[in-house]
Amino acid sequence: MKMVNLTIDGCQVEVPLGSTVLEAAQKIGIEIPTLCYEKDLSLATACRMCVVEVEGNKKNLPAACAQPVMEGMIVHTNTPKVREARRMILELMVANHPLDCLTCEANGRCKLQQYCYEYGVKESSFTGERRRFTVDDGNPFIERDLEKCILCGLCVRVCDEVQGVAAIDYSDRGFDTKVTTFMDRGLADSPCVSCGQCVYLCPVGALTAKPSKGKGRDFEVEKVPTTCGYCGVGCQLALNVKKDKIVGVTNLPDNHNQGYLCVKGRFGYDFVDSPERLTTPLIKRDGEFVEASWDEALDLVAQKMAKVRDEHGPDAIAGLSSARTTNEENYLFQKFFRAVIGTNNIDHCARL
């Protein structure tokens, strides 16, 4: 692989040809602010927060996320000119963004808030027209507040490029540009599968997980890594726990599922604290379910299965296994049916 040497903020770095300035900077721990960049997605180069100064380029300030490295390139990421440009961009965003951080779900994890803090943007010096939208809350899991949207396009790209659904895209032009669904009908009436990838990537509070609303900010929750219990894929995720209650889910990237989840993994945790959850086995006696011990229940099942097998033969029994169990449990289940019961009538819900 051909390597390229360049200097960023006085530090030498060697990266493969074809890398970007942003990647080279990340390699040596130089942080460049980004709002629309995500390494697994295509480049948008839309937010322009990552602009840097490249010596010899008098024309403009190129975006680090898209600027390819070149041999001998000298890059400055934190000059007064760069900081002034970033400040101005933040001011432009803030001029069109509600400053309701006090009640915003994204408070504490909002990148716009973080950068405004770093660049000292308290409020915008630009006053004037603001984009006005009504909140789209038709979807049971995802709420869209387009007034907070900064049009980074991460949601559009992740929906199309990772989830393959493309439920949302841009409409209108210029100042009126917005991310919308087909014919502006709202998420509930779109092909959206509520995977929530968009919610996770949204750098601001434009997309929120409805089940988590008001239940705890990012900095209040403990993030407990675990394996999703819904299917055999075994996605890794972190449960957001506040006062021993699960209040949300956070992606855990750098795993086999790259952090991405489906609707069940991301939003289907409310059963954990459901009062209707079974805590003991139940046996039906005289038409009523009655609490029983595990020994009682297992004895009853064993007895009834043996009876069916003895009277009607092993093929009178079939087993259907659940995708919520682990591979090992599924293996044992089929082994039990084949070796103990003596039938091949065994199947699994994921195959249906």
Partner 1 sequence: MELVRAHILVCGGTGCTSSGSKAVQEALHRELKKQGLDKEVKIVETGCHGFCEQGPLVIVYPEGTFYCQVQVEDIPELVEEHLLKGRILQRLLFTEPLTQERVPHYKEIDFYRKQRRLVLRNCGYIDPEKIDEYIARDGYVALAKVLGEMTPEDVIEEIKASGLRGRGGAGFPTGLKWGFAAQAPGEKKYVVCNADEGDPGAFMDRSILEGDPHCVLEGMLIGAYAIGSDEGYIYARAEYPLAIKRLKIALAQARELGLMGDNILGTDFCFDLHIKEGAGAFVCGEETALMASIEGQRGMPRSRPPFPANSGLWGKPTNINNVETWANVANIIRNGAKWYGQFGTEKSKGTKVFALTGKVKNTGLVEVPMGIPMREIIYEIGDGILGDKKFKAVQIGGPSGGCLSEGQLDLAVDYESLGSAGAIMGSGGLVVMDEETCMVDVAKFFLDFTRAESCGKCTPCREGIQRMREMLQDFSEGKGSLEDLDKLERLAQTIKDTALCGLGQTAPNPVLTTLRYFRDEYEAHIRDKRCPAGVCRALLTYYIVPELCRGCTACARVCPTGAITGKVKEPHVIDPEKCIKCGACMEACRFDSIILK
Q: Which residues of the chain form contacts with partner 1 (CB under 8 A)?
A: 43-49, 51, 60-61, 63, 66, 68, 81, 84-85, 88-89, 92-93, 95-96, 125-129, 150-151, 153, 169-170, 172-177
Q: CB 60 → partner 1: shortest distance, Å?
A: 5
Which lies closer to partner 1 via its Cβ, residue 175 or residue 294?
175
H/E segment holding residue 245: strand 245-251
Q: How far apart are CA 168 and CA 155, in angstroms?
A: 8
Cα–chain-centroid distance for residue 68? 28
Which lies closer to partner 1 via its Cβ, residue 62 or residue 211?
62
Which lies closer to partner 1 via its Cβ, residue 87 or residue 109?
87
Q: CB 155 → partner 1: shortest distance, Å?
A: 14
Which lies closer to partner 1 via its Cβ, residue 126 or residue 289?
126
Query: Is residue 72 within 8 Å of 5, Cβ to Cβ?
Result: yes
Nearest to 56 by CA among 40, 76, 42, 41: 76
Q: How far apart are CA 342 and CA 280, in angstroms?
A: 29
248-253, Cβ contacts within 8 angstroms, sequence gap of 24 or more: 248/209, 248/211, 248/212, 248/215, 248/216, 248/221, 249/209, 250/200, 250/223, 251/200, 252/225
Query: Is residue 305 within 8 Å of 316, Cβ to Cβ?
Result: no
The amino acid that residue 315 corresponds to is D
Which lies closer to partner 1 via its Cβ, residue 43 or residue 297?
43
Q: CB 67 → partner 1: shortest distance, Å?
A: 8
Q: CB 156 → partner 1: shortest distance, Å?
A: 10
Which lies closer to partner 1 via its Cβ, residue 92 or residue 188?
92
Which lies closer to partner 1 via its Cβ, residue 92 or residue 165?
92
Task: Please provide the DSSP assignment of 270-312 as one string.
Answer: GGGG-TT---S-EEEETTEEEE--HHHHHHHHHHHHHHHHHHH
Q: CB 133 → partner 1: shortest distance, Å?
A: 14
Which lies closer to partner 1 via its Cβ, residue 26 or residue 124?
124
Nearest to 222 by CA among 247, 241, 248, 250: 241
Q: CB 222 → partner 1: shortest distance, Å?
A: 35
Q: CB 88 → partner 1: shortest distance, Å?
A: 4
Query: Is residue 315 within 8 Å of 346, Cβ to Cβ?
Result: no
Q: For 195, how many CA atoms within 13 A lie in the half-sphere containing its CB?
A: 21
Q: CB 43 → partner 1: shortest distance, Å?
A: 6
